[in-house]
A and B are shown apart, each in its own frame.
Chain A
Amino acid sequence: MSSIDFPLEFPHEKPSEFSFSETLYSWVATVDHKRLGLMYITTGLLFFVIAGIMASVMRLQLAFPNQHVVQPETFNRLFTMHGTTMVFLVGMPFVAGFSNYLVPLMIGARDMAFPRLNAFGFWVFLFGGLILYFSYFGANGLSGAGSAPDVGWFAYSPLTERAFSRGASTDYWAIGIFVAGIGTIASAINVIATAVTMRCPGMTLSRMPLFVWMMVVVSWLILLAIPPLSACQIMLMIDRYLGGHFFDTQAGGSAVLWQHFFWIFGHPEVYILIFPGWASVSETIPVFSRKPMFGRSAMVGASVAIGFISMSVWAHHMFAVGMTSMANTFFAASTMLIAVPTGIKIFNWTATMWGGKLHMTTSMMFACAFLLQFLVAGLTGIMLGVAPFDWQLTDSYFVVAHFHYTLVGAMLFAVFSGIYYWYPKATGRMLNETLGKIHFWFLCIGFNVTFLPMHWLGFLGMPRRIYTYAPGRGWDDLNLIASIGVIVQAIGILAFVWNVVRSAKWGKPAGDDPWDAWTLEWATSSPPPEYNFEKVPVVRSSRPLWDLKHPQDPDWKYE
Chain B
Amino acid sequence: MIQPVAFLQAAASPLVEHRVADMFKPLATPAHTVFDLSLLVMGITAGIFVVVGGLIIYAIIRFRHKEGGDPDEPPQIYGSNQIEVAWTVIPILIVFALIGVTARVVAGVQDQAEPPGAIHATVIGHQWWWEFRYPDYGIVTANELHVPITTGPGEHPTFLKLESRDVIHSFWVPQLAGKTDVIPNRENTMWLDPREPGIYFGNCAEYCGTQHANMLLRVVAQTPSDFADWVAQQKQRAAVPTDPQLKQAQRTFDRLSCIACHAVRGTPAFGVVGPDLTHLMSRQTIGAGVMENTPANLRAWIDNPQAIKPGCEMPDMKLSDQQLDQVVAYIETLK
A contacting B, Cβ–Cβ less than 8 Å: yes
Closest to B66 in A: A357
Closest to B49 in A: A379
Name which of B106-114, B142-150, B222-230 contacts chain A: B106-114
Interface residues on chain B, number (Cβ under 8 Å): 88
Which residues of chain B have C-beta atoms less than 8 A from A356's C-beta?
Answer: 63, 74
**Most chain B C-beta atoms within 10 Å of own C-beta, residue among A252, A333, A469:** A333
Q: Which residues, 39 to 81 on B, are CB-close (under 8 Å) to A?
A: 41-42, 45, 48-49, 52-53, 55-57, 59-60, 63-65, 69, 73-80
Establish whether residues A357 and B185, one from each chain, have CB atoms under 8 Å apart when the complex forms. no
From known contacts A322-B188, A375-B49, infer whether A350 and B59 are also in contact, taking CB-CB under 8 Å: yes
From known contacts A249-B184, A395-B179, infer whether A389 and B84 are also in contact, taking CB-CB under 8 Å: no
From known contacts A340-B88, A386-B37, infer whether A325 and B63 are also in contact, taking CB-CB under 8 Å: no
Which residues of chain B have C-beta atoms less than 8 A from A351's C-beta?
Answer: 79, 83
The smallest C-beta distance from B143 to any residue of chain A, in angstroms, reads 14
- With beta carbons under 8 angstroms apart, the residue of B56, B92, B210 that contacts A73 is B210
Establish whether residues A332 and B22, one from each chain, have CB atoms under 8 Å apart when the complex forms. no
- With beta carbons under 8 angstroms apart, the residue of B48, B73, B106, B201 that contacts A379 is B48
A76: interface (CB < 8 Å): yes
A364 to B91, alpha carbons, bound, how many Å?
Answer: 27
Q: Which residues, 155 to 212 on B, are CB-close (under 8 Å) to A?
A: 162, 166-168, 170, 172, 174, 177-181, 183-186, 188-189, 201-212
From known contacts A322-B183, A355-B77, infer whether A382 and B102 are also in contact, taking CB-CB under 8 Å: no
Q: Which residues, 85 to 109 on B, are CB-close (under 8 Å) to A?
A: 87-88, 91-92, 94-95, 98-99, 102-103, 105-107, 109
Closest to B202 in A: A461
Which size class do A's interface residues fall under?
35 or more
B24: interface (CB < 8 Å): yes
The smallest C-beta distance from B71 to any residue of chain A, in angstroms, reads 9
Establish whether residues B183 and A321, one from each chain, have CB atoms under 8 Å apart when the complex forms. yes
Closest to A253 in B: B185
Which residues of chain A have C-beta atoms less than 8 A from B188's C-beta?
Answer: 321-322
Establish whether residues A461 and B206, one from each chain, have CB atoms under 8 Å apart when the complex forms. no
Which residues of chain A have C-beta atoms less than 8 A from B63's C-beta?
Answer: 289, 353-358
- With beta carbons under 8 angstroms apart, the residue of B94, B105, B202, B205 that contacts A395 is B205
B239: interface (CB < 8 Å): no
Establish whether residues A159 and B22, one from each chain, have CB atoms under 8 Å apart when the complex forms. no
From known contacts A332-B102, A392-B31, infer whether A72 and B213 are also in contact, taking CB-CB under 8 Å: yes
- With beta carbons under 8 angstroms apart, the residue of B95, B99, B212 that contacts A466 is B212
The smallest C-beta distance from B144 to any residue of chain A, in angstroms, reads 16
Establish whether residues B167 and A325, one from each chain, have CB atoms under 8 Å apart when the complex forms. no
Closest to B45 in A: A379
Using a CB–CB distance below 8 Å, which chain A residues touch chain B?
A: 71-73, 76, 150-152, 156, 158-159, 163-164, 249-250, 252-256, 289-292, 294-298, 320-322, 324-325, 328-329, 332-333, 336-337, 339-340, 343-344, 346-348, 350-351, 353-360, 368, 371-372, 375-376, 379-380, 382-383, 386-392, 394-396, 459-461, 463-469, 472-474, 550, 553, 555, 558-559
**23 A–B pairs (Cβ distance < 8 Å), ordered by A:** A73-B210, A159-B208, A164-B166, A249-B185, A292-B76, A296-B78, A298-B79, A320-B170, A320-B180, A320-B181, A321-B181, A321-B188, A322-B189, A325-B107, A344-B88, A383-B38, A392-B38, A392-B178, A461-B21, A461-B22, A461-B174, A466-B212, A473-B21
Using a CB–CB distance below 8 Å, which chain B residues touch chain A?
A: 19-24, 31, 33-34, 37-38, 41-42, 45, 48-49, 52-53, 55-57, 59-60, 63-65, 69, 73-80, 83-84, 87-88, 91-92, 94-95, 98-99, 102-103, 105-107, 109-111, 127, 162, 166-168, 170, 172, 174, 177-181, 183-186, 188-189, 201-214, 310-311
